């Protein structure tokens, strides 16, 4: 299950025991809508092993600025509280699978 990432819960989720994947997106973004079903599927597949969240860049601009998000969708992969990988744009599902597996 995906969680909504906000400025209020981000630090807690980032510092959790499980790795964190954050999809930075916006409602008006076409490529974001293309990636959304893949993110949802990954959230279900890795439930209990990886926390998967979505962060609306318009509602949480400070997080987008903090991580230098210039293009969306941008998906950041956190482990041990630090960014260890990222994907930018509408990429094939296999790339997400590879990144999720590498995170474990």
Known catalytic residues are 29, 32
* DSSP of 5-62: --TTTHHHHHTSSS-EEEEEE-TT-HHHHHHHHHHHHHHHHTTTTSEEEEEETTT-HH
Beta-bridge partners for 86: 76
């Amino acid at each position: 299950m995906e969680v909504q990432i906000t400025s209020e819960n981000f630090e807690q989720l980032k510092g959790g025991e499980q790795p964190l994947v954050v999809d930075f997106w916006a409602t008006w973004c076409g490529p974001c809508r293309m990636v959304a079903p893949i993110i949802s599927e990954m959230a279900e597949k890795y439930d209990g092993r990886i926390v998967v969240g979505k962060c609306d860049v318009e509602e949480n601009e400070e997080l987008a600025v903090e991580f230098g998000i210039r293009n969306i969708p941008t998906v950041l992969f956190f482990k041990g509280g630090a960014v260890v990988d990222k994907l930018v744009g509408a990429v094939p599902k296999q790339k997400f699978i590879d990144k999720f597996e590498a995170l474990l």
